[in-house]
Amino acid sequence: MTTASEAAELEELLSPYLIASDRIAYLAVAGFALVVYDHFLTFSQEVKYFWTGTWTLSRVLFLTVIYAF
């Protein structure tokens, strides 16, 4: 069983990693929000230029990259 002093020492050692983990999560949410915002802004252009043409390899690759990942 750990004592209170061991628990405090462990908490002190792990504290920077927990803070970094929170920051990484915030950055991930911010990045996701930017991607969603970009999709909303460019969707009309995507429909106009992408969906009205003939299917080529580049169109299939674009579709795969944009919507599969």
User: CB burial class (10 A; 0-12, 13-18, 19+) of residue 28?
Assistant: exposed
Predicted confidence (pLDDT) per residue in 26-62, tens digit = 999 999 999 999 999 999 998 898 888 889 999 999 8
Q: What is the structure's pLDDT at 1? A: 60
In whole angstroms, what is the distance from residue 49 CA to residue 53 CA?
7
